[in-house]
Amino acid sequence: MVEGFFTTGAIKDLYGDFKITTCGRCVSAWFIMLTYIFMLAWLGVTAFTSLPVYMYFNLWTICRNATIVDGANLCLDLRQYGIVTIGEEKKVCTASESFIKMCDSNELNMTFHLFIVALAGAGAAVIAMVHYLMVLSANWAYVKDACRMQKYEDIKSKEEQELHDIHSTRSKERLNAYT
């Protein structure tokens, strides 16, 4: 609302014609920069929420395969996700009792779906930020073009006034010459 107030209709009502203040330009540029920073932040959130989705998908796949293939000992190495250091060897294998309990619990399924929802929300926020950035950039271009057009109109009006003054002065001179 602040950006819209300083760059569009409120200024038009205040000055009568389209005029833009320096404050309006600065506010518009500041909002573009702020939106760009927020978009990069949400892009980072989206990237970091994709990692748990990938990890839970692999875990869910191992759980599903362990129930299909009896007797297979499938293992998930936690070092590949960066959860434990490379020097430690921590594996979660399907032969353990705790792994079977984890696969049968509702918490794994619920957590997987919640991470998917978080990823979708972060992705939607990135799309919204990109859209808002495009709108702000278009408004910036419109304001810049309108300022140039206003300068052109001012120069044109001054030239027309000068031509009118010159013409009226010559008309008075001619009228005085006849009398």
Q: Is a pLDDT exceeding 90 seen at residue 84?
A: no
As a whole number, the mean pLDDT across the chain is 78
pLDDT of residue 10: 47
Question: What is the tens place of the pLDDT at every residue in 116-139?
Answer: 999 999 999 999 999 999 988 887
Residue with the bigger pLDDT between 61 and 48: it is 48
Between CA 16 and CA 154 the distance in angstroms is 14
Q: pLDDT class for 29, splitting at 50, 70, 90? A: confident
On whether the CB atoms of residues 6 and 28 are closer than 8 A, the answer is: yes
Q: Residue 121: helix, strand or coil by DSSP?
A: helix
